[in-house]
Amino acid sequence: MKVLVVGLRGFPDIQGGIETHSENLYPRLVQLGVEVEVITRSTYWGPDKPAQHKGVTLTSLWTPAHPKLETFVHSFLAVLMAVFKRPDVLHVHAVGPALFVPLARLAGLNVVVTHHGPDYDREKWARFPSWILRAGERLGMRWAQSRIVISKTIQQLVEAKHQRSSDLIPNGVPPATRSKTSNWLVAQGVSPGKYVVQVSRLVPEKRQLDLVQAFEASDASSAGWNLLLVGALDSDDDYQNQLRAAALANPQIILTDFQTGKALQEILTHAGAFVLPSSHEGLPIALLEALSYSLRAFASDIPANLEVPLPAGQFFGLGDIAALADLLSEASRNTWSEADRAGALAITEKYDWDLIAEQTLAVYQRSVEH
């Protein structure tokens, strides 16, 4: 079976939830006998990027270097490429690229769409881009032969809004690779166990500024802890500039830029607490990854985060700075027990990438036989 994949920037080591999802999923599908080609965006694809990764073919396609045109133009061109290549299955990720699903279906392709979340709810979008994303969701859900959703919340949305069934296949989390060293942390002047971390894109819906305010108001700050914000500093927009200003004003706040490999393993192994204060998620891979490292994790109480079965006391109201500050203060005062660590790790057991690959392959097979 040949599968062509569109709707992501590419991988490996490119920041983003869909990119992380794909980097874990498609090599496993290759192991199951699927021939996978991923269409990547040229704006993220320099000479250092491979043409293959763990058996997955990575094909760079020209993309305009403009954030408001990038996804739209790339998705259109990628679907045209799919029409030419004639894969057994075209797998489209996210509601924006799904705008072109009718074109693919009219050309006779078998199409599977994964709905990663209602992207039109992201805080950055103005009215017209939001309308385009809503149109993409509507067309993708109604024209695709098969629909995959990553959470119960999204499954209920697809049923209520579009009267379509879907396969619930969540994001997964690989086993943690715990670090025995702390060299990277020490080089940053950070003490193992005495820092709060968030790992995500530095965008408004991830609410890093909420975390900054809560950290500065907490006992963790006065006790000499650090706040590490792990994410690519790739924009000169107002939001990232506010984060840069916060880090300049407070040396306890460290913007680490995008991190992978041993540095990220150190960060997650030795953190005192992980926080996800976001206003928009599909099913949060970063939170699952933190739990795989047995970390104490706090998350905003949005529906997508609530699907991860943390103890009730580890959720806080979206935007509730005072409540988050209290949780960080408690974390800085109380040791995280071995029983607590075991409980955090146990949550991740059902998010198994091998099972997810098998479930995805079953959707492909059903779509081809449809």
Instruction: Look at residue 89 and tell me if it is in a domain.
Output: yes
Same domain? For 257 and 300 the reply is yes
Q: How confident is the model at residue 66 (pLDDT cuts 50, 70, 90)?
A: confident
Instruction: Look at residue 145 and tell me if it is in a domain.
Output: yes
Mean pLDDT of the region 24-37: 98
Q: Which range among 64-78, 144-158, 221-235, 295-309 shows the weakest confidence by mean pLDDT?
A: 64-78
Q: Is the pLDDT of residue 125 over 70?
A: no
What is the Cα–Cα distance from 243 to 364, expressed in whole angstroms? 42
Q: Is the pLDDT of residue 47 over 90?
A: no
Same domain? For 264 and 116 the reply is no
Instruction: Look at residue 340 and tell me if it is in a domain.
Output: yes
What is the Cα–Cα distance from 118 to 115, expressed in whole angstroms? 8
Q: How confident is the model at residue 274 (pLDDT cuts 50, 70, 90)?
A: very high
Query: According to the model, what pLDDT value does residue 102 have?
Result: 97
Same domain? For 140 and 208 the reply is no
Q: Is the pLDDT of residue 124 over 70?
A: no
Query: According to the model, what pLDDT value does residue 19 have?
Result: 94
Whether omega for the bond prior to residue 50 falls within 30 degrees of 0, making it cis, is: no
CA 132, chain centre distance (Å):
21
Mean pLDDT of the region 62-88: 92
Distances (CA, A) of 284 to 35, 83, 169, 342: 28, 32, 13, 20
Same domain? For 100 and 157 the reply is yes
Helices (H), 255-309: 261-270, 285-292, 303-306
Same domain? For 156 and 19 the reply is yes
Same domain? For 13 and 120 the reply is yes
Q: Is the pLDDT of residue 118 over 70?
A: yes
Task: State the average pLDDT for the chain.
Answer: 93
Instruction: Look at residue 47 and tell me if it is in a domain.
Output: yes
Which has the higher per-residue pLDDT, 228 or 133? Answer: 228
What DSSP state is assigned to residue 265?
A: H
Q: How many CB atoms lie within 10 A of CB 281?
A: 27
Instruction: Look at residue 79 and tell me if it is in a domain.
Output: yes
Query: According to the model, what pLDDT value does residue 306 have?
Result: 94
Instruction: Look at residue 62 and tell me if it is in a domain.
Output: yes
Helix (H) or strand (E) holding 138: helix 127-143
The identity of residue 111, as a single letter, is: V
Q: Is the pLDDT of residue 337 over 70?
A: yes
- Please report, rounded to a whole number, the percentage of residues in the chain having pLDDT higher than 70: 98
Mean pLDDT of the region 24-28: 97
CA 205, chain centre distance (Å):
12
- Which residue range(s) make up the domain with 45? 2-172+352-369
Instruction: Look at residue 177 and tell me if it is in a domain.
Output: no
Same domain? For 61 and 205 the reply is no
Work out the angle at residue 25's Cα, subtended by the Cα atoms of residues 24 and 29, and round it to the nearest 5 degrees: 130
Same domain? For 146 and 6 the reply is yes
Query: According to the model, what pLDDT value does residue 130 have?
Result: 82
pLDDT digits (tens, 9 = 90+) for 144-162: 999 999 999 999 999 999 9
Computed on alpha carbons and rounded to an integer, the radius of gyration of the chain in Å comes to 21
Query: According to the model, what pLDDT value does residue 310 have?
Result: 93
Same domain? For 132 and 255 the reply is no
Mean pLDDT of the region 253-271: 95
250 burial level (CB within 10 Å; 0-12, 13-18, 19+): middle
The identity of residue 338, as a single letter, is: E
What is the Cα–Cα distance from 66 to 241, expressed in whole angstroms? 19
Q: Which long-range contacts (CB under 8 A, 24 or more apart) does 185-189 make?
A: 185/266, 185/267, 185/270, 188/254, 188/256, 189/226
Same domain? For 120 and 13 the reply is yes
Cβ contacts of residue 127 below 8 Å, gap of 6+?
none
Same domain? For 21 and 105 the reply is yes
Q: How confident is the model at residue 96 (pLDDT cuts 50, 70, 90)?
A: very high
Q: Is the pLDDT of residue 117 over 70?
A: yes
Helices 152-162 and 127-143 pack at an angle, to 10 degrees, of: 80
Overall number of domains in the chain: 2
Q: Is the pLDDT of residue 272 over 70?
A: yes
Same domain? For 59 and 106 the reply is yes
Q: Is the pLDDT of residue 277 over 70?
A: yes
Tokens of 182: 């702390």
Could you give phi then psi for residue 15, rounded to 5 degrees? -70, 140
Q: Is the pLDDT of residue 29 over 90?
A: yes
- Whichever domain contains 312, its CATH number is 3.40.50.2000
Helix (H) or strand (E) holding 300: strand 297-300
Closest CA to 49 of 100, 13, 4, 99: 13
What is the Cα–Cα distance from 109 to 107, expressed in whole angstroms? 6
pTM: 0.86
What is the Cα–Cα distance from 313 to 94, expressed in whole angstroms? 32
Q: How confident is the model at residue 235 (pLDDT cuts 50, 70, 90)?
A: confident
Could you give phi then psi for residue 23, rounded to 5 degrees? -65, -30
